[in-house]
Amino acid sequence: MLGEVVDEETQLLEAWRGGDRHAGSRLIAARGREITWFFRNKVFHEDAVADLVSQTFLRCVAAKSTFEERTSFRRFVYAIARNVLREYLRSVTKRAREEIDFTQVCLHQLEPRSMSSLHSERRQVQALIEALRDVPVDDQIVLELKYFEGLSGSELADALGVPEGTVRGRLARGLARLRSCVVARLQDPGSADVAISAEQLDAWAEELRRMRGAPG
C-alpha cells in the first residue's frame, strides 16, 4: 500500500511538472492539509501560513534535479517545508544572515511575544500547544508530526530522512522538555506539583488531531 501511494504521488508530481494542473490539484489535496498543519504552530502570524504552504509546493515543482524517485514524496515535501520554515524564521526575526541552531533554539526564544494561531478552549490542550513552542524547533517538528499526524517511529524516520534511532532520541529529549513546559504552564502558584503522564499528553494530542480532522 505504501509503495502504491508513493508511486502515485511521484507520478502526480511529474505530471504537474509537465504542465498538468489537475495533477497538481490532486497532489495538494493529498498532502496540503498536513503541510498546512506543519506550519500552523510554527509561525508568528496566521497570515503567513498560506504563503509558506504555497512556497513549499511550488518548490516541489521547481526542484526537479534534487528529487530522487526512490525517495517518498512525503520525505521530499517535508524536507522542502523545513527549509521554507527556517528561511521564514530567519527572515521574520531579521536574522537572515545568521546561523540559527534549530536543535537548540525554540520559537519563544526567537520571538518571546509570539502566540500560536491554534486555540483550544480546554486549558490542558492549549498548554500543550504553547509548550510545543518552548521546545527546540527541530524537536518541535518531530513532536508535532507525532501528535498532529499520528506518525509512528518508522514513519517519522521516513518523513524526516533520518534513522529511526535518531527519531527515538529526538522524541525522548523533546518529550522530557515538553512535559516540563506543560507542567510549568498548568502549575498554579502555591499549589502541589502537577504530574503529567505520557498517556495524558497522548489524550490531549488526540484532541488536537480531532481539531484538524485527522485520523487518530
**pLDDT tens figures, 39-88:** 999 999 999 999 999 999 999 998 865 566 557 888 899 999 999 999 99
Kindly report the pTM of this predicted structure: 0.87
User: CATH classification of 101-216, choosing from 1.10.10.10, 3.40.1190.20, 3.40.640.10, 3.40.50.1820?
Assistant: 1.10.10.10
C-alpha cell belonging to residue 93: 526575526
Look-up: residue for cell 516541489?
60
Torsion from C-alpha of 53, 54, 60, 63, nearest 10 degrees = -120
Cα-atom radius of gyration of the chain, to the nearest Å?
18
- Give residue 182's pLDDT: 93
Could you tell me the fold of the domain covering 1-99? Answer: Rna Polymerase Sigma Factor; Chain: A (1.10.1740)
Cell of 99: 546561523
Domain ranges of the chain: 1-99, 101-216
d(CA 108, CA 131): 9
| Per-residue pLDDT tens over the stretch 14-26 | 899 899 999 999 9
Q: What pLDDT, on the 0 to 100 scale, is given for residue 3?
A: 44
Contact 134, 181 (CB under 8 A): yes
Residue 91 has pLDDT above 50, yes or no: yes
Report whether 68 contacts 14 (CB < 8 A). Answer: no
Q: What is the pLDDT of residues 114-157, one digit of tens each?
A: 888 888 999 999 999 999 999 999 999 999 999 888 899 999 99
